[in-house]
Amino acid sequence: MRQAENSALVTVTSELKKHTVLPDAILPQTLLKYSRRLTESSYVIQNFHQISEKLPEAENIYILGHDMNDDFPEHRHDYYEICYVCEGEVLNIIDGNEIYMSQGELAIVNPKGRQALRYLGKRSLLLNFCLKKELFSRTLKSFYEDDNPVSAFLRGEIPEGRNYMFFSAQQDGQAQAIISNIIQEYTQAGFRQTYALEAYFILLFTHLTRMGEYSYYGVDKKTLEMIEELKKRGATESIASVARSFGYHPGYFTLYIKKHTGRSCKDIVQESKLLKALDELAHTDYRINDIAADCGYTSASHFYRIFRETYGMTPGEYRRRLL
């Protein structure tokens, strides 16, 4: 089971595309049609069972496709929303806070949050998991009442006073596998709520809780620049060296990234090295020991151990699966 979850890391994008057969009627232009304008540039999205006759009334879960090729005006919801970037990247502005989101990342937004989306010049596909409040008084009631950061957020008990939680789950194979299962269950059930779908959301929330990698801030432009530089230089230079190039003390640099991503600098560097290794294993015939060295690993055995722990297979097994 663990291997299946981890191997989903490298196949989840194609699987999501395969199963995301969403009705044309639920794209954003239609969504606005069924929204109530609050101001010249602000909407409240509600009554979304009316958006398409394919979406049944009196259900508590809806999944809406959002094909981003333009800006989307400020709006708020009368439900909880999980905004998931299925493909591409988007600038998600929540309560005036700019969050740069890439494929595989997600944000949970509560009904108080004001949200706008900015097109970044590349077509992106967002999936909006819309969860009515009633869901948390029935199937997810026990989780809602639990003592953990995600449950506290859903109840509105937010230390930071924020209306969203950001999760950088791009390289978390289990999170991506659960999301893929959610999409598959919803489409195969004819875009209807099922007990299995509710169970998958319990699994998703539970896994996000166990990850412990969340932020009430998200990746702003400054953080994005810091992360990109860390990924580019982290394999060959120290974190302190990268921090100094921004004029920051290493401690401040590390805490800032943790605050905005929920992740450590060490994990981000490790992820970047492994992604480079995946690419070289797939597209070159380099020896595995040479790939390890090229990706910044001074010990081939260390590379093998980290690779197996992350993906549930050796680099050689991964390469053979691609043949």
Question: Containing H/E element for 62?
Answer: strand 61-68
The ranges assigned to domains in the chain are 2-211, 221-322
**What's the gap between Cα 205 and its chain centre?**
13
User: Based on the number of CB atoms within 10 Å of its own CB, is 258 exposed (0-12), middle (13-18) or buried (19 or more)?
Assistant: middle
The two domains 2-211 and 221-322 share their CATH topology (first three levels equal): no
Residue 77 near residue 45 (C-beta atoms within 8 A)? yes
User: What is the distance, to the nearest Å, from the Cα of residue 287 to the centroid of all Cα atoms in its chain?
Assistant: 33
Q: Under 8 Å CB-to-CB from 197, ≥6 apart: which residues? A: 61, 182, 185, 186, 189
Structure tokens at 268: 């981000």
Contact 83, 131 (CB under 8 A): no
Mean pLDDT by 10 residues, the chain (323 residues): 40 42 42 55 58 69 84 88 93 96 95 93 88 92 96 88 91 89 86 93 97 94 96 93 96 97 95 94 95 94 94 93 85
Name beta bridge partners: 77: 45
Residue whose pair of structure tokens reads 């706008």 in the numeric block: 116
Buried b / exposed e along 92-122 (16+ C-beta atoms within 10 A): bbbbebbbbbbbbbbbbbbeebbbbbebbee
CATH code that applies to domain 2-211 = 2.60.120.810
Closest alpha carbon to 178 in 214, 226, 211, 213: 211
Q: Does the domain at residues 221-322 carry the CATH identifier 1.10.10.60?
A: yes
66: number of Cβ within 10 Å: 21
Q: Return the number of other C-beta atoms located less than 10 Å from residue 273's C-beta.
A: 21
Considering the entire predicted model, what is its pTM? Answer: 0.83
Nearest of 178, 262, 261, 277 to residue 223 by alpha carbon: 261
Question: Are 219 and 261 contacting, i.e. CB atoms less than 8 angstroms apart?
Answer: yes
The per-residue pLDDT for 91 is: 97
Tokens of 141: 């009631």
Nearest to 278 by CA among 262, 294, 267, 266: 294
Burial class (CB in 10 A: 0-12, 13-18, 19+), 30: middle
Give the SS3 label for residue 120.
coil
Structure tokens at 185: 């269950």
